[in-house]
Amino acid sequence: MIKKVEQGVLNKQVSIVTGASRGIGEAIARHFFKEGARLVLLDLVEEGLYRVANSLDPSGDSILCFQTDITVEEEVHKAVSRTVERLGRIDILINCAGILKHLPIEQMSLEDFESVLRVNLTGTFIVCKAVIPFMKKQGRGKIVNISSLGGRTGRPGVGVNYAASKAGIIGLTQTLAREVGPDGVYVNAIAPGPILTQLTRQVPSEVFAKWNVGRAVNKDGLPEDVARAALFLASDQSDWITGVTLDVNGGIFIT
């Protein structure tokens, strides 16, 4: 169990994390909990949600879990409304939920293309839309959207559907930052490079090596690397930063 810091960087800030049942989303939830956040975890996989929540707080008192399909507006609005009813506010949103369906374009059906955009891009839009009215009313909020190196530059093994969805997140982030900035809401994105997760550890080592071609450092990317970047962008330490995409990729892509 991770010990919660009483006066952490995110002390008592209500933080929604989507895609929190594993991988990067789970790592972000763990880092935020350690820094004192009041967590609200959303994911389609209910069992994974409660596994994460119970490992952090066996009492079940300090973490809310909502099994939620982020592509369904009614489910998202229900989760957001219940969060505000229980905790009174929403300070931080981390949009981490996403899927990957890689196929060569000749083999990719329209359903394969649209389903990935529906989860990765439209889902991000739906959750942002649901929380922004509450953040605007408060006069403050932090949103961090998880994009990808695949949305920054063409990469092998991700698929045009995934790349398009993650590039769309960058555009959404930039425009939304300008739209809600005057209301005190900050919107940024993180574009991770190849990250070692339960899923990518199943990829053949030679494929993972191809994803890392051009890396400037020897270290493999870990979910915790993205979590630390998310913590910075969600905290008041980044209060002069909005509309940016922070590249966390070991130097594979340097602008």
Give yes or no for residue 140 having a pLDDT over 60.
yes
Give yes or no for residue 134 having a pLDDT over 70.
yes
Q: Using alpha carbons, list the distances in angstroms from residue 184 to 53, 88, 132, 191.
A: 30, 18, 10, 23
Segment 206-218 mean pLDDT = 91
- Residue, of 198 and 249, whose pLDDT is higher: 249
| Angle, CA of 31, 71 and 67, to the nearest 5° | 55
Q: Which amino acid is at 95?
A: N
Task: Tell me the pLDDT band of 210, cut-offs 50, 70 and 90.
Answer: confident
Task: Tell me the pLDDT band of 203, cut-offs 50, 70 and 90.
Answer: confident
**Confidence (pLDDT) at 158:** 86
Catalytic residue, candidates 162, 233, 238, 250 = 162
**Confidence (pLDDT) at 129:** 98
CA atoms within 13 A on the CB side of 194: 23
Residues making up the chain, counted from first to last: 255
Give yes or no for residue 2 having a pLDDT over 80.
no
**Confidence (pLDDT) at 4:** 66
**Confidence (pLDDT) at 5:** 63
Q: Which amino acid is at 168?
A: G
Domains delineated in the chain: 14-248 (3.40.50.720)
Instruction: Give kind and range of the element (H or E) at residue 208.
Output: helix 205-211
% of the chain beyond a pLDDT of 90: 86
Dihedral angle sign, alpha carbons of residues 52, 56, 61, 64: negative
- Cα gap 200→197, rounded to integer Å: 5
**Confidence (pLDDT) at 62:** 86
Among 35, 25, 34, which residue's Cα sits nearest to residue 56?
34
Give yes or no for residue 170 having a pLDDT over 90.
yes
Give yes or no for residue 1 having a pLDDT over 60.
no
Entry pTM: 0.96
Segment 6-14 mean pLDDT = 89
Token pair 């169990």 is found at: 1
Residue 155 tokens read as 């990469």
% of the chain beyond a pLDDT of 70: 98
pLDDT digits (tens, 9 = 90+) for 76-94: 999 999 999 999 999 999 9
Task: Tell me the pLDDT band of 199, cut-offs 50, 70 and 90.
Answer: confident
Segment 114-123 mean pLDDT = 98
Q: Is 50 tagged catalytic?
A: no
pLDDT digits (tens, 9 = 90+) for 18-45: 999 999 999 999 999 999 999 999 999 9
Segment 147-153 mean pLDDT = 96
